[in-house]
């Protein structure tokens, strides 16, 4: 199963993606997490040792070949993980999308193609959960990278600009016939917040599967550079992410 997270910058998708990945791994499911953001933060959210995270390089363009069905890997996913990945707490294995090393380098076409290739090959491993943290832009959807995800989770905040960004992403994602798109609302402070998002989703035909409350524990964990799951394992946010896992029927 392949799950991708998208949403407006600051919506909280990285925290939710990392927490979900580790919770599923604790159920005994093999998990591969991919940071598909050119400004990466998933390693820190997962709890990868900072020195290990700093040494991580992106998936090399040389590992990808062009195939009739799109980009594909020249090696197995396991070989790629062994050579270029890192292991996070709870056994989550992770990869990083390539990022620009210098200003003026041009587009990241090969880096996006590499993520597509990994996701495509992970489709042949149904017992493995792939969790992909996409960048805060519609580019992964417009490029078609998200078409390799079985489920696209749009993380939104209960505010107009975030909801509008979610609607635009959902409109694009509707053109990906094999990808199911759902919405998780984050940072809910009151029943009115949840009701407003429910009304918005109903009006635009969006499927809302989860509600994550605002929590100072998230802010405090980030301030201390700790994964939320380590800082507040029994808190309301972790409980809400667990409910999301059950809602999308993740194996395990």
Domains of the chain: 2-247 (3.40.50.300)
Phi-psi region of 88 (alpha: psi -120 to 50; beta: other; left: phi over 0): beta
Q: 167-182 burial, b if ≥16 CB within 10 A, otherwise e?
A: bebbebbeebeebebb
What is the β-pairing status of strands 31-36 and 129-134? parallel
| Closest listed residue to residue 149, CA positions, set 185, 177, 171, 189 | 177
pTM for this one? 0.91
- CA 147 – CA 187 distance, rounded (Å): 27
Q: Is the pLDDT of residue 33 over 70?
A: yes
Question: What's the confidence (pLDDT) of residue 72?
Answer: 73
Cβ atoms of residues 64 and 117 within 8 Å: yes
The pLDDT of 120-134, averaged and rounded, is: 89
Instruction: Please tell me which residue, 113 or 188, carries the higher pLDDT value.
Output: 188
156: which residues sit within 8 A by CB, 6+ positions away? 7, 8, 11, 162, 163, 165, 166, 183, 184, 185, 186, 197
- Residue 226: phi, psi to the nearest 5? -115, 140
Q: Which of 27-36, 54-63, 142-151 has the highest mean pLDDT?
A: 27-36
């Amino acid at each position: 199963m392949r799950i991708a997270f998208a949403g407006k910058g600051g919506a909280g998708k990285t925290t939710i993606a990392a927490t979900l990945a580790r919770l599923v791994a604790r159920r005994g499911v093999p998990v591969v997490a991919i940071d598909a953001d050119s400004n990466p933060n998933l390693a820190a959210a997962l709890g990868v040792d900072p020195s290990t995270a700093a040494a991580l390089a992106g998936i090399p363009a040389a590992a990808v070949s062009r195939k009739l069905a799109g980009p594909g890997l020249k090696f197995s996913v396991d070989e790629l993980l062994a050579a270029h990945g890192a292991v996070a707490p709870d056994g989550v294995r992770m990869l990083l999308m390539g990022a620009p090393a210098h200003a003026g380098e041009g587009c990241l076409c090969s880096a996006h193609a590499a993520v597509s290739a990994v996701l495509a090959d992970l489709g042949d491993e149904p017992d493995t959960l792939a969790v992909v943290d996409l960048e805060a832009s519609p580019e992964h959807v417009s490029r078609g990278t998200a078409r390799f995800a079985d489920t696209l989770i749009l993380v939104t905040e209960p505010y107009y600009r975030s909801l509008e960004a979610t609607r635009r992403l959902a409109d694009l994602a509707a053109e990906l016939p094999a990808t199911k798109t759902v919405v998780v609302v984050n940072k809910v402070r009151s029943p009115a917040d949840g009701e407003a998002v429910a009304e918005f989703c109903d009006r635009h035909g969006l499927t809302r599967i989860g509600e994550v409350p605002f929590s100072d524990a998230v802010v405090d964990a980030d301030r201390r550079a700790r994964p939320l799951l380590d800082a507040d394992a029994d808190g309301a946010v972790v409980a809400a992410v667990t409910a999301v896992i059950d809602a999308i029927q993740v194996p395990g």
